[in-house]
Structure 1
């Protein structure tokens, strides 16, 4: 199962302006922000992340609601976080 997981934007990768660093449940990864180029994103904003791409900007309250739901599904969420820990976009 592939899930869209909320991530908090913590910084833009200066040498690759279409990449940003996000924190997803304590795991920091570079993700592609190209789909949201027109959204004027900045550190502290929340995005929905799927397979290394930010799909949409979401509010902090929406991110919390999604995270609460994801924690409730158990193993699928754990598997997704484990896969994220093993991935990297360099």
Structure 2
């Protein structure tokens, strides 16, 4: 099973980008989503943006993941 995390693109330089969620930033690649633009929410798996999602879907997913973390920690 794979898990992809929704993150917002805050910097783009070609297919290299920086994405952010909850104050955490990560270098990511946009090779599979060349149409992504600054501010888009994308699903990140293994450092690759694999899909674009709307802000509502991203927030629903993040809320669920945060609730799981609260239960575990």
11, 16, 20: which one aligns with 2:17: 20
CA distance in 1, matches of 2:15, 2:39: 17
Q: How does 1:71-86 map to 2 (within 5 A)?
A: 71-74=66-69
- Deviating beyond 4 angstroms after TM superposition, the runs of 4 or more aligned structure 1 residues are none
Number of residues of Structure 1 aligned to a counterpart in Structure 2: 72
Q: Secondary structure at the match of 1:36?
A: coil
RMSD (CA atoms): 2.1
Of Structure 1 and Structure 2, which has the larger fraction of its residues in strand? 2
**Which structure is higher in helix share?**
1
After superposition, residues 38-53 of structure 1 pair within 5 angstroms as: 40-53=35-48
Unaligned 5+ runs, structure 1: 79-90
Q: TM-score, normalised by structure 2?
A: 0.85
